[in-house]
Structures are given as C-alpha cells and as structure tokens.
Chain A
Amino acid sequence: MPDASGKAPTSMDTMRDRLAPVVSRLLDEDPRVAVVLAEIGKDAFTEAYRRHPDRVVNVGIREQLLVGAAAGMALTGLRPVVHTFASFLVERPFEQVKLDLGHQDVGAVLVSAAASFDWPAGGYTHMAPGDVALLDTLDGWTVHVPGHPDEAETLLRHAVAAGDDKVYVRLSVQANREALAVDGAHFRTVREGRRGVVVAVGPMLDAVLTAVAGLDVTVLYATTVRPFDAAGLRRATAAAGTDVVLVEPYLAGTSTGAAGDALTDLPHRVLGLGVGRRELRRYGRVEEHVAAHGLDAGSLRERIDGFVGGGVVAGRA
C-alpha cells in the first residue's frame, strides 16, 4: 500500500506514482493550475513546490480547509487539483464538496487514492468504497476511474483541461496489465457477444475478461462513469440484448440506476456487482478483499454466468 510518499511495494508503478509528475508538468505549462494537499502525498510535490511555491499549497491535516481553500482559489480563477485519500477527500469534507464547490458554482479536480481497499491492513478508516455513490448525490460531477497508470495520466490531463468542471479522478493500486486508449467520455467496446452486456469499470477489466472467457457477451470498458455513457450502453444492447451486468470497483450497485435510466423504455435486467456494504472488519491483502467481495475472476464468472444464463460459445473473444 502507498505510504505517505505514494510508493507501492510493487515493481510496476501505480497510478498515484504518475500524479505528481503529470501535475507538475501541468503546473509548468498552465498558470491556472494549482495543487492543494493536506500532508498526504506532499513529498512527491517537493520539486513542484520549489518551482511554484504559490501554486503548491499544503494546508496541513485540515481537510475542511483543503476543499474550502481550493474553492477560494477557484473563485479567483485558478484550476485547483486537490489530492488525498478518498475517505478524507470526499467523505470527511463532504459538505465542503457540496457547498464550497457545487453551491458556489466553481470547479476543481479532486484526485483520490486508496478508495475501496487499497490498504486493507490499514482497516476501514482508510476505505471509502462509497465515494462515487456519494458524489452521485450531487449535480455535475465528472468521474474518471482509470484502470491503468497510463490511463490515469490521460484522464488526469482531461480532468485538468475540463474548464471549470467538477471532476473526480479515482486512482487505485488495483490495475489491469495493459492500458487501453481512453477518451475521457465514452465506454469502449472490448469484445462483442449476443447474450448480454458486461460493463467493466476501470481496474475490474482483467478479472472480467477472464471471467467471461467463452461466454457470449459483450464487454464494455468504462473509465469515465459520470456522466454515464447511456448511448454507448444502448448501442451495445442492440446486438447483445438488454441483460446488463455492471462490475464496479466501488460500492455494488452504484451505477444500477444510471444503467436503468439508459434503458428505461426497454425491458431490461441489471445486475450490479461491486464492493459490498457490510464492514468486513478484516485486514490482510488486496487480493483477499477482492475475493471477500466476490470480485475475483472465479466469483465473477459464476455470478455473470448465472445472470445471463449460459450462452457459452466457442471461437469468440
């Protein structure tokens, strides 16, 4: 798990390892860009702070001020990039997110780390699987969920470049082996079938593709989940039918309503898979939590197959 400096104990770098390099370049290129931190992650921005002492601000362990100050900077015309763990970025200062950004009608880029269970040994205080669902109670948020460090770079650039929009970028140590091209808006068709549509969100793609091997289903890859690509889902259902499975790396069912809204004039079924609500009260490793929430390839296979009702074919994928 990332420590305060953002280093993970794996050989491949993490999405979060890309944050400071990407944003540091943006600080150099765009005088509107500013970074606001609350201690967590500050070491990675040491050089950026040296170069831009007025646009890299660490407010200390003060998360209400973190979001409030970012809003004030936005009111003066800056484009703040705000970063800490999801539980301290979205949950603890939720009213600041709602009022200081939304109600004041200003934007910011909120970049979280460690949301669902990236640091299981840290326990529930450092988990926020409900982050996207919580933002769903508010209007106008764009939510990017990259599935690979390269995609994280692309989506961070999209986020900062998105005018004064309110954008949430959800970085995780969970990642797919290969990056795909992502455009910051649309679902991407990874494979096509006729017996259902599986929407794999961000880091869930590898497990989903393993799970549906030999199943006659379409797989859409979603790295931008808000706004929800309703048109993309509808297009996919034209050939694959309206049995839809959502596999999300955050709270199960977060996008069930959005998928239902996309298909509201069609008979359809939606299965929402993701992180369970129940507090496990377990530590351990990421893989153990993936399995506990039924998000490993074997569990996904069973649940997806059971929902779309067989349809095994050979020679596709």
Chain B
Amino acid sequence: MTITEERGRAHGYTDLPRLMGLMTGDEKHGPAATSTLDVLWVLYDRVLRVGPERPDDPGRDRFLLSKGHGPMAYYAVLAAKGFVPVDWLPGFGSYDSPLGHHPDRVLVPGAEIGSGSLGHGLPIAVGTALGLRAQGLDEPRVWVLVGDAELDEGSNHEAIAFAGPAGLERLHTVVIDNSSASHALPGGIAARFEAAGWSAVTVDGRDHEALYAACTAPHPGRPHVVVARVEPKSV
C-alpha cells in the first residue's frame, strides 16, 4: 500500500483505538493516554478549518499542542485525518521515526509547534494570534491545548494575563483537566481565566456535543477557554 492510498482512506472516531494501538501495541488505553483524545477528535473533525491538503495556507486555523506528553492520541488523530501516514505509527519513538514521545513540528506534518517542555504553547499562541492580526488575517483561529498541571508553569500566566486585556478574540485555549496538578489553581481553572478577562466554559471532556458547543460558543472581543474535565489521572 502506498502512502497516498493510506492517507486517502477515511478514518473515523472508532478507528482511533486501533491507530493508537499501532504505537502502543495494545488497543486498550487507560484514561491518561486518552485524556486528550475526545477533545482532539472534536476539534479536528468539526471545529478546526485545517486539512492535509492545505498545510501552509495562511488562512488555516492553527492548533498548537502545548502539552506534548503522551502524544499518541494526537498522532492517531493526525493519521485519521490524513496528515500523517498510518504506516508511520508503528515506528513511534524509534530513531528513524518522525514521531517522537514529544512532537516536533519540523518532522510531523500538521504539527504547528514542537512541544514537550511545558508552558511554551500558550505564549507562542498569543504571538500567533498577534501575528495573524497584524497581517489582517481575520479568519484563522488559534487553538492551544494545555494540561491542568501544565498551568503550574508561570509562563502560562504571563500569556493569560496579557491575552485578556489585549482582547485576542481569535485565541482559544482548551485545558484538559484530569486533576493532575498537585496544587490546583485556587478558585479553579475557569476562574483564573475569567479574572483575566477571558470567556470560559467548563464541560465534560468526553461529551462530543458539549465539547463542540463549548468550542464554538461566541466570545466577542475576548479570548476563550474551554476547560474539558476528564477522569482524574490518579484516583
């Protein structure tokens, strides 16, 4: 099978466990490995205006995976949507594979940033939104996915506190909240963003309709955060 044929095949949500299994060797995955899976699927399937046929289109939406740990769900979605050939997946993490345990934008088609060190995606997303605005590109939206414990990193708070008052309407953050922070944000995650002038919605991170509604809710003049609650990382 050629790469083109494999890329051209349509994959659905139900294919994702099999695609992840090509990387993990097992089609059963615990909550930690799949914490981002439903959000990623809803974004790539219904929200983001992106596609493998227009990877460099200046008008495309930008999705920045900031929480680069455990990227199997991300690679599975990118493979399902045709950005990454499915036959790359079994090599996950090997020397000759473009697919590492943290993604590298230079190596992975469709990956807007390389990530792994926490707290870098949101500041870069702020700059991406500023850069698009400066060029009069009013259509593209910028999405960045962070983890709840990732919000421990102070760089996020530099970005959150700037983006609200700057009115970066095109900026969207989705926080995967699996209660993994040892010291949770006082007052809660949504309140932290709201205090900085963001629009905020908290939803069930497994409920596709609720996620879609939260991700497409209007938020004129303000950046928007979707807090997606999933099962606690450790119970």
Chain A positions near chain B (C-beta within 8 angstroms): 31, 34, 36, 54-55, 57, 59-60, 62, 64-65, 67-78, 80, 95-96, 99-100, 103-105
Selected from A68, A74, A100, A104, the residue in CB contact (under 8 A) with B131 is A74
Q: List 7 A-B contacts (CB under 8 A).
A: A67-B123, A69-B159, A72-B123, A75-B131, A76-B134, A99-B120, A104-B114
Query: Given A76-B135, A99-B117, do A65 and B126 touch, yes or no (CB 8 Å)?
Result: yes
Instruction: Report the minimum CB–CB distance from B154 to chain A (whole Å).
Output: 7
Q: How far does the alpha carbon of A73 sit from the alpha carbon of B133 in the complex, in Å?
A: 10
Residue of B whose beta carbon sits closest to that of A73: B131
Q: How far does the alpha carbon of A299 sit from the alpha carbon of B145 in the complex, in Å?
A: 56
Q: How far does the alpha carbon of A71 sit from the alpha carbon of B113 in the complex, in Å?
A: 10
Selected from A59, A77, A103, the residue in CB contact (under 8 A) with B58 is A77
Query: Given A60-B162, A78-B134, do A65 and B128 touch, yes or no (CB 8 Å)?
Result: no
Contacts of B124 in A (CB 8 A): 68-69, 71-72, 75, 100, 104
Instruction: Report the minimum CB–CB distance from B205 to chain A (whole Å).
Output: 26
Q: How far does the alpha carbon of A77 sit from the alpha carbon of B221 in the complex, in Å?
A: 24
Q: How far does the alpha carbon of A55 sit from the alpha carbon of B154 in the complex, in Å?
A: 25
Residue of A whose beta carbon sits closest to that of B119: A64
Q: Is B70 an interface residue (CB 8 A)?
A: no
Q: Is B158 an interface residue (CB 8 A)?
A: yes
Q: How far does the alpha carbon of A72 sit from the alpha carbon of B132 in the complex, in Å?
A: 9
Q: What mask results when residues 90 to 109 of chain B are scored 1 for a CB within 8 Å of chain A, else 0?
A: 00000000000000111000
Contacts of B6 in A (CB 8 A): none
Instruction: Report the minimum CB–CB distance from B59 to chain A (whole Å).
Output: 11
Query: Given A62-B162, A65-B123, do A104 and B113 touch, yes or no (CB 8 Å)?
Result: yes
Q: Is B202 an interface residue (CB 8 A)?
A: no
Known: A68-B124, A69-B162, A99-B117. 4 other contacts (CB 8 A): A68-B126, A72-B125, A75-B124, A100-B124
> Quick check: B134 and A34 within 8 Å, CB to CB?
yes
Contacts of A62 in B (CB 8 A): 158-159, 161-162
Q: Is B112 an interface residue (CB 8 A)?
A: yes
Query: Given A73-B131, A99-B114, do A68 and B159 touch, yes or no (CB 8 Å)?
Result: yes
Q: How far does the alpha carbon of A60 sit from the alpha carbon of B129 in the complex, in Å?
A: 17
Contacts of B154 in A (CB 8 A): 64
Residue of B whose beta carbon sits closest to that of A64: B155
Interface residues of B in 134-179 (CB under 8 A from A): 134-135, 137, 154-155, 158-159, 161-162
Instruction: Report the minimum CB–CB distance from A145 to chain B (whole Å).
Output: 27
Contacts of B137 in A (CB 8 A): 76
Instruction: Report the minimum CB–CB distance from B67 to chain A (whole Å).
Output: 15
Q: Is B17 an interface residue (CB 8 A)?
A: no
Q: Is B32 an interface residue (CB 8 A)?
A: no
Q: How far does the alpha carbon of A162 sit from the alpha carbon of B62 in the complex, in Å?
A: 26
Q: How far does the alpha carbon of A99 sit from the alpha carbon of B135 in the complex, in Å?
A: 24
Q: Is B127 an interface residue (CB 8 A)?
A: yes
Query: Given A54-B130, A69-B130, do A75 and B112 touch, yes or no (CB 8 Å)?
Result: yes
> Quick check: A75 and B134 within 8 Å, CB to CB?
no
Contacts of A57 in B (CB 8 A): 130
Instruction: Report the minimum CB–CB distance from B109 to chain A (whole Å).
Output: 14
Contacts of B125 in A (CB 8 A): 72
> Quick check: A76 and B128 within 8 Å, CB to CB?
yes
Contacts of B58 in A (CB 8 A): 76-77
Selected from A68, A70, A72, A103, the residue in CB contact (under 8 A) with B129 is A72
Contacts of A31 in B (CB 8 A): 135
> Quick check: A77 and B135 within 8 Å, CB to CB?
yes
Q: How far does the alpha carbon of A190 sit from the alpha carbon of B155 in the complex, in Å?
A: 46
Q: How far does the alpha carbon of A59 sit from the alpha carbon of B120 in the complex, in Å?
A: 16
> Quick check: A104 and B105 within 8 Å, CB to CB?
yes
> Quick check: B134 and A105 within 8 Å, CB to CB?
no
> Quick check: B106 and A105 within 8 Å, CB to CB?
yes
Q: How far does the alpha carbon of A126 sit from the alpha carbon of B161 in the complex, in Å?
A: 25
Q: How far does the alpha carbon of A100 sit from the alpha carbon of B29 in the complex, in Å?
A: 31
Q: How far does the alpha carbon of A57 sit from the alpha carbon of B134 in the complex, in Å?
A: 10
Residue of A whose beta carbon sits closest to that of B144: A72
Contacts of A71 in B (CB 8 A): 123-124, 127
